Structure 1
Amino acid sequence: MPRMHALELLPDAAGVEVVRRDWQVLHDAGLPSQLDHRGATNTPHVTVVAAPGLGAADEQVAAEVLGTLLPVEVRVAGVALLGGARVTVVRLLDAPDALVRAVLDVRAAVPAAQHLGWLPHVTLARRVPRADVPGVLDALGHDDAVLTLSSLRRWDPDAGVVRAL
């Protein structure tokens, strides 16, 4: 399976701290956490689109369509579980309609986009055994938060490079 290239929205410094607090809470509880992922490019983000490849035209469309909306506030709306026997734990985001429309426009320009539609979220933990889900939910709690998405980046897994757009 090819590695997925991505266009991603990044929160500002305050938003990064909100997400990293959740990562730390899970880590401190002895549960899987994105904090355990030590890759240099691992940072809180919201994926706009992932595909086996992205070109300069895809980057240009994303910068033109999304750039005018940044910075934009999104509200943390709850916790969701994605996957099968092991799940990915995410915080869902309530995004303004203009942002949702813009992301769908960007996604429509990428014919090989992974997944249909767009589910705005930030990932807190991957490959969590289902037996650990109650502990994850207890650890995370139910606090609301607002994140300000302030920039757009391109992730190229083949080159191992992230680049601001």
Structure 2
Amino acid sequence: MPRMHALELLPDDAGVGVVRRDWQALHDAGLPSQLDHRGTTNSPHLTVLAAPALAPEDEERASELVGGLLPMEVQTSGIALLGGVRVSLVRLLEVPDDVVRAVLGLRRQVADVQHRGWLPHVTLARRIARSDVPAALAAIGHDESVMTLTTLRRWDPDAGTVTIL
């Protein structure tokens, strides 16, 4: 399976703090956490799309359609589990309708986008055993918060680079 190129929205420092508190709580509870991912590009983010390749015109469209809506406030709205035997634990985000329309419009124009539709979320942990889900939920709690997304970036896994658009 090819590594996925991605377009991502990043929160401001306060939003980073909101997500990192969850990462730390999971880590402190001895559970998998995105805090354990030591990659230099690992940071809290909302993935707009992922695809096997992105063309320069995809970046341009993303800047026009989505980047032009920044900054934007989003609300955490719940917790979800994604996956099978082992799951990813995510916080769902409520995003403004104009952002949803822009992202879906962009996704229609990019070839081979991974996953149908768009489920706005920030990942808290990957590969959690289902038996550890109750402990994970207890660790992070259910507080809702508002975050401001301020930056659109492109992740190129082939080059190992992040580019701010």
Pick the TM interval, shorter chain: over 0.9
Q: Tell whether 2:65 aligns with 1:65.
A: yes
SS in 1 for 2:69: coil
Aligned counterparts of 2:113 and 2:84: Cα–Cα separation in 1: 21
Aligned counterparts of 1:93 and 1:67: Cα–Cα separation in 2: 18
Q: Tell whether 2:10 aligns with 1:10.
A: yes
Pairwise CA distance, 1:67: 1.7
List runs of 5+ in structure 2 lacking aligned partners: none
SS in 2 for 1:53: coil
Count of residues paired in the alignment? 165
Q: Which amino acid aligns with 1:67?
A: G
Pairwise CA distance, 1:8: 0.3
Q: Which residue of 2 aligns with 1:117?
A: 117
Identical amino acids, percent of aligned pairs: 68
Pairwise CA distance, 1:68: 1.6
SS in 2 for 1:54: coil
Runs of 4+, deviation exceeding 4 Å? none
Q: Which amino acid aligns with 1:104?
A: L
Given the two structures, how large is their TM-score scaled by the length of structure 2? 0.99
RMSD over aligned Cα atoms: 0.5
Aligned pairs for 1:6-155 within 5 A: 6-155=6-155
SS in 2 for 1:68: helix
Given the two structures, how large is their TM-score scaled by the length of structure 1? 0.99
Q: Which amino acid aligns with 1:81?
A: L
Aligned counterparts of 2:77 and 2:90: Cα–Cα separation in 1: 10
Q: Which residue of 1 aligns with 2:156?
A: 156
**Deviations along 1:49-106, whole A, 9 cap, x unmatched?**
1000001000000001112210000000011000000000000001110010010011
